[in-house]
């Protein structure tokens, strides 16, 4: 699903108004009706709603919602929090308050005791078109609202939050429990740093014109189960193990053989026909007992790749989990970089070794997939000024080195060499556990071994990894979820993707030509 900028969303509104056709006030009414229905279902019939409105069209949405709530029998108080002249549609919705005998209360900087302590707070002061930080007396109003424990709901976007880049935003931002946004998500919603300003997100359809959505270009997307299905390959009845590729996992060291076991097991459970683990001799028995389906090529501590110097046997190499950063590990990584000709997966200690030898990045095969968590990413590229800057650094890095970067964390992002970014909606806090990243490495290596294009492998791999984690979380709990649970649910996750029959127009997902098989 596409993510539009604030200006693109305004264009979508204008296109819909011109081509549906529909008047702007009626489109506002349609959007407000969706908000009203959600509020009506979510809160008790005797709830008291305190609606805080600004002068723009976001405030107009709030005024329309207030009218609908009052008309349905809810107790409603409406406050006007701005000194600007209202937009035309805002003014019309102010006038319509008379239909339900609602009085608009105009707040000033001298007002303090204006909130029913038991009421639901509805925020519609500023919308996605905001371009300056919120300061002054309106900021004090928002701070006052934030200080209350009342349930809080933002219409479209929290007041004070910019729709895209908040790195230099030093103003006050409303902190909702729920954000009810329209049609498509916003870029700001994808960054963990903004979680306090989003809360629980609900995307409400308001009928923006599909022709505009399908044709408008963007670099930012959210992967859906439907689009994971578009990528997912089905096996055929005449397939045999070599059909699905031979993967090499280079991982493990003394005390860290679990990482090698997890990545190798995830690789064989994600469809690779053959998996060989290149591991230290001291861990050979651990691997063969833990995952008998995986072949091993053990090495001594004096380390070289021995007969594995020729990597042409393998469709993909995944390197890094638990490998350590001793001289022996550096030798292994250098040998692989000398010999690898196909896209590979770089994780964990391999990333840290690259961070200490930036020149080695030039030896990465084009199309390789790097999977850093934020600490590893910082070691690779240095500090950043905020989430938006961090993403910009990733785009620059991928373009320079012709690789894919998966920035791991909540809503992991797949950053592509062409500048496209795919945010992942699956996964949960229970996956913040040792070994979870090793599992992802195994999944990605398996997909590349099966001849998925790197872009396909990265998008599908991250999605299925998170989905398996969600399935495991539903069976276990956040506290008890471990990496092995993710592996145990990979089969069900792939099956869920295969069974998906949601019909979504493919133009909503970009780069369809490069994503489809």
User: Residue range 320-333: average pLDDT?
Assistant: 94
Nearest to 57 by CA among 22, 79, 88: 88
Nearest to 24 by CA among 51, 53, 60: 60
Whether residue 1 is contained in a domain is answered as: no
Of 184, 203, 218, the residue at which a domain comes to its end is 218
Whether residue 196 is contained in a domain is answered as: yes
Whether residue 311 is contained in a domain is answered as: yes
Q: Are residues 184 and 283 in the same domain?
A: no
Q: Are residues 193 and 80 in the same domain?
A: yes
Eight-state DSSP code of residue 429: G
Higher-pLDDT residue of 18 and 109 is 18
Eight-state DSSP code of residue 372: -
Overall domain count for the chain: 2
The pLDDT of residue 158 is above 90: yes
Express as a percent the part of the chain with pLDDT over 70.
93
Distance CA 216, CA 2 (A): 9
Of 218, 242, 264, the residue at which a domain comes to its end is 218
User: Residue range 167-189: average pLDDT?
Assistant: 98
Q: Are residues 144 and 243 in the same domain?
A: no
Crossing angle of the two packed helices 436-449 and 454-475, in degrees rounded to 10: 140
Read off the pLDDT of residues 433-458 as tens digits, 9 standing for 90 and up.
999 999 999 999 999 999 999 999 99
Give the tokens for residue 378. Answer: 């910082």
User: Residue range 212-227: average pLDDT?
Assistant: 97
Q: Which position has the token pair 């490495």?
A: 441
CATH code at 507? 3.40.1190.20
Nearest to 187 by CA among 220, 224, 157: 220
Q: Are residues 52 and 191 in the same domain?
A: yes
CATH code at 146? 3.40.50.10260
Crossing angle of the two packed helices 436-449 and 348-356, in degrees rounded to 10: 90
Read off the pLDDT of residues 84-131 as tens digits, 9 standing for 90 and up.
899 999 999 999 999 999 999 999 877 766 666 679 999 999 999 999
pTM: 0.94
Q: Are residues 273 and 397 in the same domain?
A: yes
Eight-state DSSP code of residue 183: S
Position 237 scores a pLDDT of 55
Whether residue 64 is contained in a domain is answered as: yes
Whether residue 267 is contained in a domain is answered as: yes
Q: Are residues 250 and 116 in the same domain?
A: no
Q: Are residues 203 and 293 in the same domain?
A: no
pLDDT band at residue 241 under the 50/70/90 scheme: low
Continuous H helices in 408-453: 436-449
Q: Are residues 137 and 190 in the same domain?
A: yes
Distance CA 253, CA 337 (A): 20
User: Residue range 403-417: average pLDDT?
Assistant: 97
Of 218, 249, 272, the residue at which a domain comes to its end is 218
Distance CA 269, CA 436 (A): 15
> Could you list the residue range(s) of the whole structural domain that residue 159 is in?
6-218
Return mean pLDDT, the chain: 93
């Amino acid at each position: 699903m596409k993510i539009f900028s604030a200006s693109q969303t305004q264009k979508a509104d204008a296109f819909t108004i011109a081509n549906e056709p529909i008047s702007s006030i009626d489109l506002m009414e349609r959007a407000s009706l969706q908000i009203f229905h959600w509020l009506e279902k979510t809160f008790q019939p005797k709830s008291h709603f305190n609606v805080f409105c600004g002068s723009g069209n976001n405030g107009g949405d709030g005024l329309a919602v207030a009218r609908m709530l009052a008309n349905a029998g809810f107790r409603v108080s409406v406050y006007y929090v701005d000194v600007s002249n209202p937009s035309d549609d805002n003014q019309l919705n102010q006038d319509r308050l008379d239909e339900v005998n609602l009085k608009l209360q105009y707040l000033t900087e001298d007002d303090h005791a204006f909130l029913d302590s038991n009421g639901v707070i509805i925020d519609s002061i500023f919308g996605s078109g905001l371009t300056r930080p919120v300061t002054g007396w309106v900021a004090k109003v928002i701070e006052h609202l934030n200080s209350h424990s009342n349930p809080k709901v933002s219409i479209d976007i929290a007041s004070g939050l910019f729709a895209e880049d908040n790195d230099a935003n030093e103003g006050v931002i409303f902190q909702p429990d729920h954000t009810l946004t329209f049609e498509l998500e916003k870029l700001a919603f994808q960054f963990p740093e903004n979680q306090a300003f989003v809360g629980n997100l609900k995307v409400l359809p308001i009928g923006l014109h599909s022709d505009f959505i399908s044709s408008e270009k963007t670099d930012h997307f959210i992967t859906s189960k439907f689009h994971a299905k578009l990528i997912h390959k089905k096996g055929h009845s005449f397939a045999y193990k070599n059909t699905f590729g031979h993967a090499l996992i280079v991982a493990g060291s003394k005390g860290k053989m679990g990482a090698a076991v997890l990545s190798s097991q995830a690789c064989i459970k994600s469809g690779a026909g053959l998996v060989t683990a290149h591991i230290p001799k001291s861990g050979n028995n651990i691997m063969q007992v833990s995952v008998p389906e995986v072949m091993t090529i053990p090495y001594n501590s004096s380390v070289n790749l021995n007969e594995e110097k020729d990597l042409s046997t393998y469709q993909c190499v995944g390197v890094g989990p638990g490998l350590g950063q001793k001289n022996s590990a550096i030798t292994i990584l250098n040998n692989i970089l000398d010999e690898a000709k196909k896209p590979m997966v770089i994780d964990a200690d391999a990333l840290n070794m690259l961070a200490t030898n930036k020149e080695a990045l030039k030896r990465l095969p084009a199309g390789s997939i790097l999977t850093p968590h934020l600490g590893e990413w910082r070691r690779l590229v240095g500090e950043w000024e905020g989430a938006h800057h961090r993403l910009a650094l990733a785009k620059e890095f991928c373009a320079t080195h012709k690789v894919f970067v998966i920035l791991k964390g909540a809503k992991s992002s797949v950053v592509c060499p062409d500048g496209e970014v795919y945010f992942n909606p699956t996964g949960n806090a229970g996956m913040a556990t040792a070994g979870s990243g090793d599992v992802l490495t195994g999944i990605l290596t398996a997909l590349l071994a099966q001849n998925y294009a790197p872009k396909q492998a990265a998008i599908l791999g991250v999605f299925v990894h998170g989905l398996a984690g969600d399935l495991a979380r539903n069976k276990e709990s956040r506290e008890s979820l471990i990496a092995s649970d993710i592996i145990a649910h990979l089969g069900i996750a792939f099956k869920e993707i295969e069974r998906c029959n949601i019909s979504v127009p493919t133009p909503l997902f970009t780069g369809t030509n490069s994503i489809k098989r």
